[in-house]
Each structure stands twice: as structure tokens, then as C-alpha cells.
Chains A and B, each alone.
Chain A
Amino acid sequence: MNVLADFWNNYGGQIMDALGPHLFLTFVSLALGIIVAVPLGIFLTRNPRLASPIIAVVSIFQTIPSLVFFALILPFLGIGTQPALVVLFVYSLLPILRNTYIGVRSIDPALIDASRGQGMTSWEILYMVELPLSAPLIVAGIRLAAIYLVSWATIAALIGAGGLGDLIFSGIDNYDTNLLLAGAVPTALLALLIGFLLGMVRRLVTPRGLKVGVAR
């Protein structure tokens, strides 16, 4: 334990300083991603003809490697937190958009018919039937996006946005193993923790009737 305590004494301050910008980048871009992608996903289920081209375009964006994306945007937006947020926001869209779209589309049409037969308006059907039933898949998309964002936010250090990536990159540049670990260990733990917490949220939002026999 002494080794750990020494390590924390030496690097704890730096880790905490880097954690702030890292969490800021991750959660601001995740929040923006949710605000845009969930309504857009629902909109696409109402306009299936628009859906496949839009999903295809966003999928292609998603295959572009994160370092490439940061590099391509640098000449246009420069360096710092704001360009990093733009990249992270765009990146967070696809998992959330795709899962919202698939989640709402995959609901048994008979359930929608039954709700309409009971006299529910389309608005009521949306938030009393469709959203609760697709909530597990939507949260799964948000979870995936959050894990990716922790990872991409590390790369954002290269365009001067700070975060835990700063420690990793200066650790590598200076052959400083401890500094490298001070960046890499919290980054890995943060990703695992966020994945675990959002996995619990997904279980919480799963309607009771769906809990039996649904694998994901």
C-alpha cells in the first residue's frame, strides 16, 4: 500500500487537475449528443425514407479514426476545448441515433395499434409506450457513446484540450513510466466505471415486463 500512497502523493494533484477537463469534455459532448440524437432518431422512425441515407452518412463519419478527425478539424477550427467538443459531439451521435432508431422501430406494431385503439394520441403513444419500451436500447447506445467519449477525450489532449491524455502523452515523450501510468490507469478506470454505471441505468429503465427473456 505504501507504493500506492507514494504514487498518489506524487501524482494525485496532477491526476485530479487532468480529470476535470476530461470529465467536462466527456459529459458536455455526451449531453449535446443525447439532446440532438434521441429526438432525431425518433424523427427518423416517422420518416423511414430519410432514415437509411442519414444513418449511412453518420456511420461513415463514425469509421473515421479519432486522431484523423481531430487532425482534419485542426486547420479549420484551431486548437483548444471548443474544437475538441465539436469532434466529440459529432462522434457521440451515431451510437445514440442508431440505437434510438432501432429501439423505436423494433416495437411490435400491434402494441401501437392497441394504444391507438384505447384512444391515446400519438404524443401519448410516444412517451407512454414507445419511449419506455425502447429505453433499454437507447441507454445502451448512450453507454456505448460515453465509453467511446472517454477514449476520444484522451486523444483531444493532442489539440490542446487537456485531460488525462496530457499525462499519457508527456509520459510517453519523457519516458516517464509513472506519469504514463498516472494518465493511463485513471483513463481505463474511468471508462470501466462509466460503462458499469450506465449498464446499471439500463437495467433500471428496463420495463418490468421486458426483463424476462430479453438478453440485452
Chain B
Amino acid sequence: MNTSLPYVSMLTFQHLYLSVVGTLIGAAIGFALAVWARRRPRLANALIGIAEVIQTIPGIALLAFLLLAFGLGNGTLVVGLALYAILPVMQNTYEGLEGVDPVYMGIGKGMGMTRGQIFRQVELPLAFPVILTGLRVALVTSIGVATIGVFVGADGLGLLIYRGLQLIDTQVILAGAIPAGLLAILIEVILTLLERRLSRAASAR
């Protein structure tokens, strides 16, 4: 089994790429749903309830169902990652937008801003740190779920971990497990620091 640096780097890149693509698709859906459900608490609760059911289904079980629908390959994994990313982004976008003090919207209106301008220039920037938290949770979850993507024929670091477990070869296991673990930790730490900086900037304004 190949554990050379170029090969491991390529798998790490694939891993990150698949996770980011899946997360962004799910985040776009979650964001759109949250904006749609804004100021309609009943609709929002129903949507969050459905997304929570999806979230509760264990990763390998969800991927197994998707395998039957979409077959082997990276596409199946990306669909699964997108499904998992919907809830954290939708919930945080909804709560972030609801949490904006209506006084700011009133000020915007008083200054003659249109509804679209208020949404883009007032509400979104104020809700952004909360939305980013949802995005971080979604991306870190994706990195984790992507490791089991190997079982539905997807690329990424899960390939090395699974081969290593089959061969009981510690070197192969570690060549996959260490970069995958570091990737999750790094993304968690970097995005957490970014969030802190943003919310400090927001409160200083």
C-alpha cells in the first residue's frame, strides 16, 4: 500500500475538496430554507424537525441508503454530506436572523433603505457570526463523515484507514488517520478563531 507523501497529500486534498463541496451545497440549501422560513416560526419548526430526523440517522446508515439510490462513487458521499450540512446552517441562519434587534431594521428603514438593502447590509452582517458557527459545525461533521465515504466508493483519507484496518498495518492506518484527525482539528480551531474575531468586530461597531 502506497503511503508516500505525494499520495497522502493528494488524498488529503480530495478529502478536503469533497467535504467542502458537500458542505457548501448543504449550506446553500439550509440558508435558502432559513430565509424562506423567516418570520414563519411554524414553518421553521417543521423544517428544523425534518432536518433533525436526517441528522439523527447514523452516517454509515444514511450512506448505505444513498448507496442504493445513487450507486458507488464520490457523488453519493457528496449528497450525504450535503444532507448533514442542511440542519446546522439552516438552524443558525434562522436564529441569527431572528436575533437581530428590530431597532436596526427600523433605523435602516428610516434612512430610506429598501427591504433588500436592509437584508443585505444590516441583517446579514449582524447574523453572520452565528451563521459561520453553523458552517463550522457542518464542515467539521463533513470531514468526519467523509472518512466513512470509502464504504460507498468515495475517495479521501478513509481509503488508507480502511485498507490499513483490513491489513492490520499500523503504518497505513496512521498515514490516513493522522491527516484526517489534523484536518478536522485545524478547521475547528481556525474557524473558531475567525468567529471570535468577527463577533468582537461586530460588538465593537
Binding site for B on A (CB under 8 A): 59-60, 63-69, 71-72, 74-75, 147, 150-151, 154-155, 158-159, 165, 168-169, 171-172, 177, 180-181, 183-185, 187-188, 191-192, 195
Contact = CB atoms under 8 A, between A and B. Distances in A.
Nearest to A180: B64
23 contacts: A59-B188, A60-B185, A60-B188, A63-B140, A64-B185, A65-B143, A67-B147, A67-B148, A68-B177, A68-B180, A71-B173, A150-B58, A151-B61, A154-B58, A159-B165, A168-B60, A183-B61, A187-B60, A188-B62, A191-B58, A191-B61, A192-B57, A195-B56
Kindly list the 3 A-B residue pairs having the minimum CB-CB distance in the complex, ordered from nearest: A151-B58, A65-B144, A184-B64
A64 B61 contact: no
Interface string B123-154: 00000000000000000100111111001100
B184 interface: yes
Nearest to A67: B147
Contacts of B152: 172
Taking chain A's interface residues, is the majority helix, strand, or loop, or is none over half, making it mixed? Answer: helix
Contact of A168 (B64, B140, B173, B188): B64
A169 B158 CA distance: 14
A26 B146 CA distance: 23
Contacts of B53: 192
A71 B60 contact: no
Contacts of A158: 162, 165
B114 interface: no
Contact of B57 (A69, A75, A183, A188): A188
Interface of B: 53, 56-62, 64-65, 67-68, 140, 143-148, 151-152, 158, 161-162, 164-165, 168, 170, 173-174, 176-178, 180-181, 184-185, 187-189
Contacts of A192: 53, 56-57
A191 B54 CA distance: 11
> Interface centre among A59, A64, A181, by most B CB within 10 Å?
A64
Nearest to B60: A154
B185 A63 contact: yes
A126 to B, nearest CB: 31
B173 A74 contact: yes
A63 B184 CA distance: 6
Contacts of A155: 60, 148
Contacts of B181: 64-65, 68-69, 72
Contacts of B68: 177, 180-181
Given A63-B188, A165-B60, A71 B140 contact: no
A64 B184 contact: yes
A195 B55 CA distance: 11
A66 B178 CA distance: 12
Contacts of A188: 56-58, 61-62, 65
